[in-house]
Structure 1
Amino acid sequence: MKVAIFTDTFLPDVNGVAKTLGRFTKFLDQSHHSYIVISPKQTKNEISAGQIYRQSSFPFPLYKDCRISVPNTLHVKDIIKSFQPDIIHIATPFSIGLAGLHIAKKYNIPIVGSYHTDFDHYLKYYHLTLLTKALWRYMEWFHQPLLRLFVPSAVTYQQLDRKGFSNLQIWQRGVDTTIFHPYPSSNEIIKKYQIKEQFILSYVGRLAPEKNVELLARIAKQLPPSLQKKIHWLIVGDGPSKATLQKEWQQNVTYTGFLPQEEVAKLVSSSDIFVFPSETETFGNVVLEALATGTPVVAANAGGVKNIIQEGFTGKLCEADNSHSFTKAIQSILQDAEWRKQLEENAIRYAQKQRWEDRFQELLHAYQNILDETKKQQKHA
């Protein structure tokens, strides 16, 4: 099969979309399928390499880590005509996604998309809710021609179904258990970050308003003083909220910045609880990765995360943006060592069944079904 992927974010970007697509292209390499990726340049000097065709771009003013691309449409058309893909997969609904939509229609190539980001919820955190109606109108228009729109969770499926989106199909995410698995000892992490406290609580992700990370500081301060002294927090990641967090919260906390995946896996494996306050996840890859390391998760009962966490079995789901609900859940897990051990074992068993290879095979199977349906329709036309 020959797949053309159009995306406004790709490796080396550090986000769920880029990492998922990076893994997918690696899988396509290993399974001998052909692909090309049309994506933005990250730096001025970056050039196209192999199957990756970089388009000029500039930082988005409201969100510096996101880039707006200005695709060279004539060049992209030439690439597509030369490659002759069986299917076009659009991963983002912005400039490069628009180019993919236009080209697929022009050359009558079957087109699918994947829905990764809940932009509607993002607007709330950036005080732009006035744009909500316009955003949904645009999203409905953009996704309407797609033969299939892959969504990562039942929650996202229901949300888009209510909005009148069609051709929806759930395509869940997986976890790389060669990296995210239980590590035998936490001594390396304890030594590296000079941790003297009894318990380690961690968070991994962007430090940005839409991840609701400022709730972490409130949770830490609202825990009983006797328990606060026993906890060391490890906050992994970077972003626009980091400076505010560091200013407000300095007691018993280490801000590690971005870390390589292997180090993230060791750090989370060494944690007693993974705390995740975000309400805007369409899936929540980092939550599944935490479970794979054998770490119970305390998370907001919102978005795709609530389809991953099994309440009381692999972690606790809390009322969104309610620090008291989070502190109560954290206390209950830390104060019951036997239950905590059971949560760890359940988490590992669940996560080990969520393999990326299976997820990508499901996607390729869906592609094939779409191509077969298209051929049938063309034959009867």
Structure 2
Amino acid sequence: MEPMLSVAILNDLHRHRDAGGHVKTWERFAEAATALDDQLELTLYFQGEQDGETRVAQNVRYVTLRPVLSTERIAFLTRLSEHTDLARLNRRLFRALRVHDVFHTTHAAFTQARTALAFARRHGTALVDSVHTDVPRFARIYGEQVLERMFGTTGLAARALRRIDIPGRRAHALRRRIERHWRACAHVLVSQTRDFEHAASIVGAERVSYLGRGIDRAVFAPERADRRRLARRFGVPPDTVALLFVGRVDPSKSVLTFAHAVRALRERGHPVHALLVGRGNQAREVSDLLGEGVSMTGPLPQSELGWIYASCDLLVFPSRTETFGNVVLEAQACGLPAVVADEGGAPERVRDGVDGIVVRDPDPGAWTEALDALLRDDGRRARLRRGALEGSGRPTWRDVLETDLLPVWRDAVRRSARVRGPSELQSR
């Protein structure tokens, strides 16, 4: 029998009710790990307002640590959708890491990952990384937003800054930092082909594999559809085609592409209504564009999402920054076809023309035309829904944990020759 394995997951983000897919993914893996109490001790480290610990089960706990240099404390970064720590090292975390056999970093550019890397280099602890966010691209998007707010889009200063391309330089620097982190890792887990090719070019294909996602079949199921409830809760008229968007309501998810397309469809006379689940700095702009043609729920817990997916007609998801596209998988499990962009991880979840549509142009006009064609063809939409249902046999979170993660962690420990046996967590 394999010895007990103690794994630290370094999230570098805040855990809260409205957290995004990165945090939610690891919460689901934590829940799955509770069933493996004879094999695995899992500690998930997050940012928090105060240091603290929450015991999920005997073998699973959440630890929060106050950031050393939070992006929330930097004036021009306060509008970020998710905040992290920019310090080079968190000494409290460094001391806490001594009890673990494997460090699994999930945001290679930031403080918790950098602290784990420093500890691993000093003590030889096994180090693994997984890619959940296109950090360089997000840095570029938000950097451009910051400069636009500060200097506008016209004038000498704005033109000079565009030539210098500070966001592009920052994105390049972050990419190099991530690559240096990967070189120190025993293994890198990715979710899309582009990231596989990138990581393989740095560490070799034998040290790279795919990390899937699971589905909670009790939550995400077509039987949960309730269109009347959708009308009562969110004001979605029952005689309209409900177009769903789930995610941050900001430029990183191309939400205005969705909003402009819906507006154009309504102007053409299509009875469509937009339902947005999420929050972000473009919520007011979306509301102004669509008026009574949109319902905005704000962030919702996972337990609410299943029946909403099942009650809508199409998931419209123009984001080009996804590393996986969890929302697409969740929609398909509910029998909801997805219309997605041709870049990032989302199109790798869709069989184009079978259970969804891939739009190969980021222009809102192209999205309008693609959706217009679907709205004019009830039979095609019905076939896509059937395709989503037929392909919706998805693994559970425990399946993915046991197939994609545990073998990687154990192999990393064998390589580091640091199997400890029962963890010191038992005595804490």
TM-score, normalised to structure 2, is 0.80
In structure 1, what is the equivalent of residue 35 of structure 2? 30
User: Which position in structure 1 is the counterpart of 2:422?
Assistant: none
> 1:135: Cα distance to partner?
1.9
Partners of 1:280 and 1:56 in 2: CA distance: 28
2:320 alignment partner in structure 1: 279
Q: Which has the higher helix share?
A: 2
Kindly indicate whether residue 4 of structure 2 is the aligned counterpart of residue 4 of structure 1.
no
Aligned position for 1:153: 192
Q: In structure 1, what is the Cα distance between the partners aligned to 2:410 and 2:262?
A: 49
Q: Matched residues in 2 for 1:333 and 1:324: separation?
A: 14
Give the C-alpha shift of residue 29 in structure 1.
1.6
Shift of 1:203: 0.3
Partner residue in 2 for 1:90: 105
Distance change >3 Å, CA 339–CA 354, structure 1 → 2: farther
Question: Which of these residues, 147, 162, 171, is aligned with residue 211 of structure 2?
Answer: 171
Structure 2 distance, partners of 1:354, 1:89, is 22
SS state at 1:278 partner: coil
Equivalent residue number for residue 137 of structure 1:
176
Which residue number in structure 1 is paired with residue 124 of structure 2? 108
- Counterpart contact for 2:45–2:65, Cα < 8 Å: yes
Task: Tell me if 1:364 matches 2:415.
Answer: no
Question: What code does the residue aligned with 2:413 have?
Answer: L
Pair 1:181 & 2:221 matched: yes
Aligned: 1:241 with 2:282: yes
Note the alpha carbon deviations across 1:185-221, whole angstroms, 9 max, x for none.
3221123233334211110101121111111121112
Q: CA deviation at 1:224?
A: 6.2
Structure 2 letter corresponding to 1:225? E
Q: Secondary structure at the match of 1:220?
A: helix
Give 1:219's match in structure 2, choosing from 261, 286, 303.
Answer: 261
Q: CA deviation at 1:280?
A: 0.5
1-structure distance, mates of 2:338, 2:179: 34
Contact 2:186 2:412 in 1 (8 A): yes
CA distance in 1, matches of 2:44, 2:301: 24
Determine whether 1:52 maps to 2:62. yes
Residue 373 of structure 1 and its aligned partner are, at CA, apart by 4.1
SS in 2 for 1:7: strand
Deviations 1:259-302 (A, max 9, x none): 22232221221111000010000111011111111111111111
Q: Does 1:67 align with 2:87?
A: no
In the alignment, the residues of structure 2 paired with residue 277 and residue 146 of structure 1 have an alpha-carbon distance, to the nearest angstrom, of: 33
Going from structure 1 to structure 2, the CA distance change for 1:219 and 1:17 (only over 3 Å counts) comes to: same
Q: Give the aligned partner of residue 353 of structure 2.
A: 312
Corresponding letter in the other structure for 2:337:
P
Aligned partner letter, 1:246:
S
CA distance in 2, matches of 1:37, 1:72: 18
Q: Is the 8 A contact 1:279 1:320 kept in 2?
A: no
Consecutive unaligned residues in structure 2, runs of 5 or more = 56-60, 145-166, 419-428
Structure 1 position 16 matched with structure 2 position 21:
yes
Is the 8 Å Cα contact of residues 299 and 316 (structure 1) preserved in structure 2? yes
**Equivalent residue, structure 2, for 1:99:** 115
Contact preservation (8 Å) 2:7, 2:42 = yes
* TM, length-normalised to structure 1: 0.90
Relative to 1, partners in 2 of residues 1:304 and 1:259: Cα closer, same or farther, differing over 3 Å?
A: same
**Matches of 1:184 and 1:207, distance apart in 2:** 24
CA distance in 2, matches of 1:22, 1:224: 39
SS in 1 for 2:83: strand
Question: Which has the larger displacement, 69-78 or 314-323?
Answer: 69-78
The alignment partner of 1:132 has SS state of: helix
Counterpart-to-counterpart distance in 2, 1:124 and 1:9: 19
Deviations 1:53-81 (A, max 9, x none): 22112344424443333698443344333
Are 1:89 and 1:114, in contact at CA under 8 Å, matched by a contact in 2? yes
Q: 2-side partners of 1:194 and 1:17: how far apart?
A: 30
Counterpart CA distance in 1 for 2:140 and 2:122 is 36
Could you say what secondary structure the match of 1:195 adopts? coil
Distance 2:14 2:355 in 1: 31
Name the CA distance, whole Å, in 2 between partners of 1:310 and 1:25: 30
- Would the alpha carbon gap of residues 121 and 76 (structure 1) be closer, same or farther in structure 2, given more than 3 Å must change? closer
Q: Is the 8 A contact 1:56 1:71 kept in 2?
A: no
Q: Over aligned residue pairs, what C-alpha RMSD do you find?
A: 2.2
**Equivalent of 2:242, from 200, 211, 215?**
200
Q: State the one-letter code of the partner of 2:218.
A: T
Alignment partner of 1:117 is 2:133 = yes
Distance 1:161 1:350, change over 3 A: same
Give the CA deviation at 1:130: 2.9
In structure 2, C-alpha distance between the alignment counterparts of 1:255 and 1:214, rounded to whole Å: 14
Match of 1:379 in 2: none
Structure-2 residue corresponding to 1:79: 96
Partners of 1:100 and 1:320 lie apart in 2 by 40
**Alpha-carbon distance between aligned partners in 1 of 2:343 and 2:91, rounded to the nearest angstrom:** 42
In 2, distance between residues paired with 1:207 and 1:245?
8
Whether the 8 Å CA contact 1:302–1:320 is kept in 2: the answer is no
Q: Is the 8 A contact 1:277 1:320 kept in 2?
A: no
